[in-house]
């Protein structure tokens, strides 16, 4: 089935560092990918919609200059957390929609997430 791969699975770095997270669709092309953030004991919150070949669409309250999204190909989207601070520590998850075939709409598939810890 459709698989979405995320890398790295865990990052620990110092405050002020920029961190890049990759999201790849392994066996399908994804014109749209989504980036979510999840704080402990909370649900997933959508941060932005990544569109191949165009600018990302950010949800209200998400700083586009801090969370840079690049969707340069049909199988790769990257999220860069610039000048990360401890409050950016969270679980970041991406998803992509596999192409629809036949009946109905196909579900989104999620990566395994990236746990970011800023010291």
Partner 1 sequence: DAKTTQPPSMDCAEGRAANLPCNHSTISGNEYVYWYRQIHSQGPQYIIHGLKNNETNEMASLIITEDRKSSTLILPHATLRDTAVYYCIVSPGGNEKLTFGTGTRLTIIP
6 binds partner 1, rule: CB under 8 A: yes
How far is residue 114's CA from residue 117's CA, in Å, rounded to a whole number? 10
111 binds partner 1, rule: CB under 8 A: yes
CB of 107 to partner 1, least distance (A): 4
Residue 29: name the closest of 79, 94, 99, 103 by CA. Answer: 99
| Binding flags for partner 1, 58-97, as an x/- string (CB under 8 A) | ---------------------------------x-x-x-x
How far is residue 9's CA from residue 47's CA, in Å, rounded to a whole number? 18
What is the C-alpha radius of gyration for the chain, rounded to an integer number of angstroms? 14
106 binds partner 1, rule: CB under 8 A: yes
Residues making contact with partner 1 (CB under 8 A) = 4, 6, 31-32, 34, 36, 43-46, 49, 91, 93, 95, 97, 100, 104-113, 115
């Amino acid at each position: 089935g459709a698989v979405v791969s995320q890398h790295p699975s865990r990052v620990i770095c110092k405050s002020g560092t920029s961190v890049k997270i990759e999201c790849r669709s392994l066996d399908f092309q994804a014109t749209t990918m989504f980036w979510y953030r999840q704080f402990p004991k909370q649900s997933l919150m959508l941060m932005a919609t990544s569109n191949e070949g165009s600018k990302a669409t950010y949800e209200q309250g998400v700083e586009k200059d801090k969370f840079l999204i690049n969707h340069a190909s049909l199988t790769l989207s990257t999220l860069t957390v610039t000048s990360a601070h401890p409050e950016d520590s969270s679980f970041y998850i991406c998803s992509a929609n596999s192409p629809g075939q036949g009946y109905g709409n196909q579900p989104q598939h999620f990566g395994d997430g990236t746990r970011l810890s800023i010291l």
